[in-house]
Amino acid sequence: MEIKKREKAYNGYFKIYKLTVEQHGHTFEREQFDRGVAVAAMVYDTEQEKYILTRQFRVGPETELVEVVAGMVDEGESPETSIAREIEEEIGYSVDSLKHLHTFYSSPGGTTEKVHLYYAEVSHQHADGGGKDEEHEHIELVAYTREELLKEAFADAKTIIAQQWVQLQG
């Protein structure tokens, strides 16, 4: 498969490209949703001995979801710097330790989004979190014991992957 042409079809909050693709002598068009690079972390508070997740409205499914802390990598930032910033903004903790778990594409059939998933340990909440007002975020914290976390049925893929990682840790 070879991309012969790339045109910007939409340039708003997100970007969409129209691609002209050639494969096995056939030429066709596809749309590509340019989402960028994301970070996410299963956060564990070592003092409370609880996992700290977030609840917020998500425009894709048009409902509130409980999910791991997540956000986008800003230009010039490393994924590690980005996830530490997101943990600070969303739940008000500084990171004590960070472990990279996996990097994956969220939906490779049509989006560019690559997610860097981490496990983060924290021990002291020094701010309320809740997200950034200028980004219109309204984020609630949700705390789970290990047993509660493993019983929960999440709808978000990165959260399910992180939950399964916790389960595999025994």
The dihedral formed by the CA atoms of 89, 90, 91 and 97, expressed in degrees to the nearest 10: -70
Task: With CA atoms as reference, report the closest residue to 111 among 157, 79, 53.
Answer: 157
pLDDT of residue 170: 82
Instruction: Give residue-wise pLDDT tens across range 48-104.
Output: 999 999 999 999 999 999 999 999 999 999 999 999 999 999 999 999 999 999 999
Sign of dihedral through CA atoms 77, 83, 89, 92?
A: negative
Residue 132 has pLDDT above 90, yes or no: no
Query: In this predicted structure, what is the pLDDT of residue 130?
Result: 73
Kindly list the domain boundaries of the chain, sorted by start residue.
2-33, 36-168
* pLDDT over threshold 80, residue 124: yes
Which residue, chain included where needed, has tokens 């705390």?
A: 143
Q: What CATH number has the domain spanning 36-168?
A: 3.90.79.10
pLDDT at 135 over 80: no
pLDDT at 134 (0 to 100): 67
Q: Is the pLDDT of residue 28 over 80?
A: yes
